[in-house]
Amino acid sequence: MLNSLPLRSALLSVVLLIVLLGSWELMNQAPTDTKPLTEYEMLMGGASQEARVPPPSAVIELAIEELSNPFYDAGPNDKGIGIQLGYSIYRVLVGFFFAALIAIPVGFLIGMSPLMYNALNPYIQVLRPISPLAWMPLALFIIKDSEASAIFVIFICSIWPMLLNTAFGVSNVRKDWINVAKTHELSPIKTALLVILPAAAPTILTGMRISIGIAWLVIVAAEMLVGGTGIGYYVWNEWNNLDLASVIFSILMIGLVGMLLDMFLAYAALLVEYKE
Amino acid sequence: MTSKFLEVQGLAKRYPGQGKSAEPVTIFENANFNIEKGEFVCVIGHSGCGKSTILNILAGLDHASDGLVLMNGREISGPSLDRGVIFQNYSLLPWRTALQNITFAVQARWPKWRKDEVLAHSQKYLELVGLKEALHHKPSQLSGGMRQRVSIARAFATQPQLLLMDEPFGALDALTRGVIQEELIKIWSEDKQTVFMITHDVDEAILLSDRILLMTNGPKARIAESVKIPIPRPRTRTGIIHHPNYYKTRNHLVDFLVNRSKDLSGENHDGEAGRHPQVVTFDESSD
């Protein structure tokens, strides 16, 4: 029974988790002094001068509390984790959707036309390495709305991988399949939809997967800047509240949601996959 | 103007030479031949003589540097559903099932057909090549022979006026090739398609064709001979080898490929005499 690889790796994962959480827990116990506290220590709320990272037990306790009521809304600075994540996911999806709306057709264009590729390539190469957050001041000035600016930042960071992957996928469609379209007298639009799109779909999906990963990385930083709502704002707000347990909890939630977004697109990629 | 079904006149293909003042490289030139309706014509020649280029020009996928191709008296200027192509590497769309690969072509051919008409027509041709059970398999789930059968079914299903085949059995093992050759004969004898086929295989050419065009070596290749196959149809693989004309024909072809294809190439054979292929016939009744 122990010979099965999935079982053994699952076992190892659990062991690693226990060791990690155990040592974290043990290293961060609140100090217990045998002497009674001095007046100063009582005033400061403890025996130690040093703040400690909350142990996993505290984080788990908080997580249970937060997750049992994730959508409560008690004013601008006190919303449930579900609401905050919801805002972030909404911004990511809207920005990502508009990016796809532009990137995939333009990617088709530059993938099919060497002229367009050579004409647009210099701009893409200059714009692509710009940190999306660098656009934030300009976006705030032009759009004059922090919510829309955050979405714009997501848009601008997720457009490039989709654009380049679409162009790459389209320009690398096998010549034979294009010839099949030609010998069957397909119109350019039918060729694009019936032959090029399905042939390039796996590459396009890979680009979308990279894009959504980057978008999820960027939204946290963008929300720290614009504030108001969202998981990025939440992390920064809890840091200002010195509530490290909440910070750790939200870090884990960011990871979890990022993983789910990626899994969703990985599943979509499976649907358009084909074997030659 | 003319009663010929397909006319090829002075076809040539040249590529610009390497370097600034280099002469253009001529792959082949002065290709003149005709194909009658319902005729099965094979082309044999060594690699690099431009056989595939001629086929691609006929398909409309490549452009000639010189000369023209007329089909039913009209010049060929691009790809058309009237000219079906079977490629050596099958060229099936891998994200579609065998059946969907056929319906794709049938729909392109007859856009006004209803769905059930398209389906019935496509299924008929897949069954004709013996793929009844594999209708819903993707090409990756099929063997090379089965993929080429799908490709053949796709080409025949669109009922083109001219069928172009570029070494259709080149990638198959000998046993599979034999089986599919006989299936091809069967379908061909029902539809009486006009076929232009490229092959490397002398026996295959004798089995299938009415006439064989022999190409000399490139560069400056040309079509040197047009050999009528003096073996009556119906033919079978096992039957033809007993026909008295079989070895005579085969020896002539092999002799051409081994000895004469080099000497007769355009480089050593300029002038008016080399412009039209020499017609070779064997007396059918002789032994």
Read off the tokens for A222: 């963008």
Is residue A67 in some structural domain? no
**Looking at the partner chain, which of B78, B83, B89 has a beta carbon nearest the beta carbon of A176?**
B89
* Whole-number Å distance between alpha carbons of B219 and B11: 14
Give A-chain residues touching B140 at CB under 8 angstroms. Answer: 274-276
Q: Which residues pair with A73 in a beta bridge?
A: A79
Q: Do A276 and B94 make contact, defined as CB atoms within 8 angstroms? A: yes
Is residue A45 in some structural domain? no
Mark the ranges of chain A whose per-residue pLDDT is less than 70: 1-2, 30-37, 41-51
Read off the tokens for B101: 């690969």
Is residue A76 in some structural domain? no
Is residue A114 in some structural domain? yes
Q: Do B61 and A179 make contact, defined as CB atoms within 8 angstroms? A: yes
Q: In chain A, how many domains are there?
A: 1
Give B-chain residues touching A184 at CB under 8 angstroms. Answer: 81, 104-105, 108-109, 158
- Cis ω on the peptide bond leading into residue B79 (within 30° of 0)? no
> According to the model, what pLDDT value does residue B90 have?
85
> According to the model, what pLDDT value does residue B287 have?
44
Give A-chain residues touching B158 at CB under 8 angstroms. Answer: 184
Q: Do A182 and B109 make contact, defined as CB atoms within 8 angstroms? A: no
CA distance A158 to chain B (A): 28
Is residue B41 in some structural domain? no
Give A-chain residues touching B95 at CB under 8 angstroms. Answer: 198-199, 201, 272, 274
Q: Do B94 and A275 make contact, defined as CB atoms within 8 angstroms? A: yes
Is residue B39 in some structural domain? no
Give B-chain residues touching A199 at CB under 8 angstroms. Answer: 93, 95
- Mutation pick from A178, A184, A187 vs chain B, by most beta carbons of B within 10 Å, is A184
Q: Mark which of B200, B223, B250 sits at the end of a domain.
A: B200
CA distance B81 to chain A (A): 5
**Looking at the partner chain, which of B79, B89, B140 has a beta carbon nearest the beta carbon of A183?**
B79
Read off the tokens for B283: 């007396």
Contacts of residue A100, defined as CB under 8 A and 6 or more positions apart, other chains included, come to A158, A162, A208, A211
> According to the model, what pLDDT value does residue B222 have?
85
| pLDDT block averages, 10 residues each, chain B of length 287 | 79 84 83 91 89 93 91 90 90 94 95 95 90 91 91 92 91 86 86 89 91 88 88 86 90 89 66 68 60
CATH code of the domain in which A90 resides: 1.10.3720.10
B281 conformational bin, left if phi > 0, alpha if psi -120 to 50, beta if neither: beta
Cα diameter, chain B = 60
- Residue from A231, A251, A244, A243 nearest A83 by CA: A231
Q: Mark which of B159, B177, B200 sits at the end of a domain.
A: B200
Is residue B141 in some structural domain? yes
Is residue B283 in some structural domain? yes
* Whole-number Å distance between alpha carbons of A223 and A242: 18
CB B93 within 8 A of CB B101: yes
Is residue A241 in some structural domain? yes
Going by the DSSP 8-state scheme, the letter that residue B174 receives in this structure is H
**Looking at the partner chain, which of B79, B89, B94 has a beta carbon nearest the beta carbon of A185?**
B79
List the single residue in B with minimal CA-CA distance to A202.
B95
Is residue B218 in some structural domain? yes
List the single residue in B with minimal CA-CA distance to A174.
B91
3-state secondary structure of B221: strand
> According to the model, what pLDDT value does residue B286 have?
45
Q: Do A183 and B104 make contact, defined as CB atoms within 8 angstroms? A: no
* Whole-number Å distance between alpha carbons of A262 and B185: 53
CATH code of the domain in which B113 resides: 3.40.50.300
CA distance B9 to chain A (A): 22
CA distance B139 to chain A (A): 7
Check whether residue B157 and residue B87 sit in a common domain: yes
- Cis ω on the peptide bond leading into residue B234 (within 30° of 0)? yes
Contacts of residue A140, defined as CB under 8 A and 6 or more positions apart, other chains included, come to A146, A149, A226
List the single residue in A with minimal CA-CA distance to B143.
A276
The pLDDT tens digits for B146-193 are: 999 999 999 999 999 999 999 988 888 888 888 888 888 888 888 788
CB B85 within 8 A of CB B140: no
Q: For residue B245, what is the enclosing H or E element?
A: helix B244-255
Domain of residue A252, residue span: 81-272
Q: In chain B, how many domains are there?
A: 3
* Whole-number Å distance between alpha carbons of A264 and A270: 10
Read off the tokens for A185: 């007298």
Is residue A9 in some structural domain? no
* Whole-number Å distance between alpha carbons of A246 and A252: 10
List the single residue in B with minimal CA-CA distance to A177.
B91
Domain of residue B20, residue span: 1-34+47-77
CB contacts < 8 A, A to B, total 54
The type of residue at A98 is F
Q: Do A182 and B60 make contact, defined as CB atoms within 8 angstroms? A: yes
Check whether residue B169 and residue B241 sit in a common domain: no
Check whether residue B88 and residue B56 sit in a common domain: no
Going by the DSSP 8-state scheme, the letter that residue B160 receives in this structure is -
List the single residue in B with minimal CA-CA distance to A271.
B95
CB A203 within 8 A of CB A162: no
Q: For residue B278, what is the enclosing H or E element?
A: strand B278-280
Q: Do B95 and A179 make contact, defined as CB atoms within 8 angstroms? A: no
Read off the tokens for A46: 């403890």
> According to the model, what pLDDT value does residue A76 have?
80
Check whether residue B105 and residue B133 sit in a common domain: yes
B159 conformational bin, left if phi > 0, alpha if psi -120 to 50, beta if neither: left
Is residue B40 in some structural domain? no
- Mutation pick from B91, B107, B137 vs chain A, by most beta carbons of A within 10 Å, is B91
* Whole-number Å distance between alpha carbons of B79 and B61: 6
- Residue from A224, A201, A205 nearest A88 by CA: A224
Q: Do A185 and B138 make contact, defined as CB atoms within 8 angstroms? A: no
Check whether residue B90 and residue B73 sit in a common domain: no
Is residue A51 in some structural domain? no
> According to the model, what pLDDT value does residue A178 have?
94
Check whether residue B85 and residue B187 sit in a common domain: yes
> According to the model, what pLDDT value does residue B1 have?
47
Is residue A15 in some structural domain? no
Cα diameter, chain A = 92
Check whether residue B125 and residue B72 sit in a common domain: no
Check whether residue B73 and residue B84 sit in a common domain: no
Is residue B105 in some structural domain? yes
Is residue B116 in some structural domain? yes
> According to the model, what pLDDT value does residue B214 have?
92
List the single residue in B with minimal CA-CA distance to A275.
B140
SS (H, E, C) A103-124: HHHHHHHHHHCHHHHHHHHHHH
Q: At what angle do helices B98-109 and B115-128 cross, to 10 degrees?
A: 120
